[in-house]
Amino acid sequence: MKTESADILIIGAGPAGSVAAGLLRKQGRDVLVLEREQFPRFSIGESLLPQSMEYIEEAGLLQDVVEAGFQYKNGAAFQRGDRYTDFDFREKFSPGWGTTFQVQRAHFDHVLAKGAERKGATVRFRHEVLSVDVSGEQPEVTARSPEGETYRVRARFLLDASGFGRVLPRLLNLETPSNFPKRGAIFTHVLDRTPPGSFDRNKIRVTVHPEHVHVWYWTIPFSDGRCSLGVVAKTEFLEQYQGTDTERLQAIVREAPALQDLLKDAVWDTPARKLTGYAANVKSLWGPGFALLGNAGEFLDPVFSSGVTIAFKSASLASACLARQFAGEKVDWERDYAKPLKAGVDTFRTFVESWYEGGFQNVIFHPNASPDVRKMISAILAGYAWDKNNPYVADSKRRLGVLEELCAA
């Protein structure tokens, strides 16, 4: 079998893989990305957070993303019954980007992958990683080309950015269950034809089910008059609905009058899909000669659209560690990669848990919230979950607990 070599081998050309490739090319590394699919390909995760812009910029891919013509996004809106509230991310506690985009991921991921290629990374589509050996001095993977040939790649370092593919967690027995209950999502794209003035297209809208506080819907407008629409609930809730996934989604949307009204003229022209049990975790985010990026590590929950931002953050932290390692420094991957990454993930976790228990929903829908507190919350919703200057990041559990008590219905 043929054996190739690379400085860095990246598994997967999703957001984590392409941004890591861009960052490592900036360091002058020789980067090979193996991607199982042919791009463009559908993926879920369409609403970005402003914090993600920093990493797109850092990887040198900002112009590619801005020029792609995606829907501008400046905030998040929430609807529960007749209550509506929204956060403008430009009014936030933390410094940095206050706007971003809502993206069709097929196009967005392709734009990032092409950007990484233009920066000199080799990206091979339809090359699937089959097995890995990290027992030697350098990690080695076996991959299959579109022609069915298998070959080996030996790398100085291996980044697993395989997302829900979870290549290394599966092959190296690193998987561990998530603490979250098993939830699922049913989703599609529609031509939304929302009445003028009824829908702020610059914001994702999250609608809470009128009776079930733990069931919520997303509407994510795109720049072409279409909109991503989905529902998230525990799998036993979703299983109550019969028919095709489109029929099931339509039935659940009918239960939320405000959303049903918003979408009354929508054209349902795309069959719905479903995903279940996507929350995942791992025993370790790194090992000898490798690190796990993005969803290949932990995935919490979609409610605050944090997935792509966390994927980018992981790429940025890992690339900084690799710069030091290649310069001959000793890197402590737990201290310098896993811990800092988990700090922000844990902030999101606190807010996600509180969302499903209903406490955080009472906070955001409270009519008399302090403007300063709203700015701190806006910063977290904008993805600034690593900014320790924000009291709701530095001490999120206690602070949010106090706020929940004050806002209890």
Instruction: Work out which of 134, 171, 213, 275 binds ligand FAD, going by CB under 6 A.
Output: 275
| 163 touches ligand FAD (CB under 6 A) | yes
Beta carbons within 8 Å of 127's beta carbon, 6+ residues apart: 34, 35, 36, 143, 144, 145, 146
| 46 touches ligand FAD (CB under 6 A) | yes
| 323 touches ligand FAD (CB under 6 A) | no
Structure tokens at 283: 């025993």
Residue span 200-239 as binding mask against ligand FAD, x where in contact by CB under 6 A, dash where not: ------------------------------x---------
Stretch that binds ligand FAD, among 208-216, 284-292, 307-315, 394-402 (CB under 6 A): 307-315
In this structure, are residues 233 and 212 in contact, taking their beta carbons and an 8 Å threshold? yes
Stretch that binds ligand FAD, among 132-140, 148-156, 168-176, 294-302 (CB under 6 A): 294-302
Stretch that binds ligand FAD, among 21-29, 34-42, 367-375, 394-402 (CB under 6 A): 34-42
Distances in Å between the alpha carbon of 396 and those of 247, 300, 401?
Answer: 40, 17, 8
- Helix H or strand E encompassing 325: helix 307-326
In this structure, are residues 387 and 374 in contact, taking their beta carbons and an 8 Å threshold? no
| 161 touches ligand FAD (CB under 6 A) | yes
In this structure, are residues 134 and 172 in contact, taking their beta carbons and an 8 Å threshold? yes
CA distance 7 to 28: 10
* String of DSSP letters for 13-62: -SHHHHHHHHHHHHTT--EEEEESSPSS---S--B--THHHHHHHHTT-H
Q: Minimum distance between the CB of residue 1 and ligand FAD, rounded to whole angstroms? A: 17
Instruction: Work out which of 7, 30, 37, 86 binds ligand FAD, going by CB under 6 A.
Output: 37
Q: Return the sign of the alpha-carbon dihedral for residues 237, 238, 242, 246.
A: positive
Interface of this chain with ligand FAD, residues 6 to 25, rule: CB under 6 A: 11-17
Instruction: Work out which of 84, 151, 164, 199 binds ligand FAD, going by CB under 6 A.
Output: 164
Q: Minimum distance between the CB of residue 45 and ligand FAD, rounded to whole angstroms? A: 3
For residues 16 and 121, which CB has a smaller minimum distance to ligand FAD in the complex? 16
| 35 touches ligand FAD (CB under 6 A) | yes
Q: Tell which residue, 321, 78, 98, has the closest CA to residue 216.
A: 78
* String of DSSP letters for 119-169: TT-EEEET-EEEEEE-SSSS-EEEEE-TTS-EEEEEEEEEEE--GGG-HHH
Stretch that binds ligand FAD, among 36-44, 189-197, 281-289, 321-329 (CB under 6 A): 36-44
Q: Minimum distance between the CB of residue 156 and ligand FAD, rounded to whole angstroms? A: 19
Instruction: Work out which of 115, 165, 169, 359 binds ligand FAD, going by CB under 6 A.
Output: 165
Stretch that binds ligand FAD, among 68-76, 117-125, 190-198, 299-307 (CB under 6 A): 299-307
| 160 touches ligand FAD (CB under 6 A) | no
| 191 touches ligand FAD (CB under 6 A) | no
Q: At what angle do helices 51-58 and 307-326 cross, to 10 degrees?
A: 40
Q: Minimum distance between the CB of residue 82 and ligand FAD, rounded to whole angstroms? A: 25
Torsion of CA 387, 391, 394, 400, to 10 degrees: -120
Structure tokens at 307: 């997935």
Q: Give the Cβ contact number of residue 41 at 10 Å.
A: 15
For residues 11 and 158, which CB has a smaller minimum distance to ligand FAD in the complex? 11
CA distance 258 to 48: 24
Chain positions contacting ligand FAD, by CB under 6 A: 11-17, 34-37, 43-48, 128-129, 161-165, 167, 185, 230, 275, 278, 294-296, 299, 302, 305, 307-309, 311
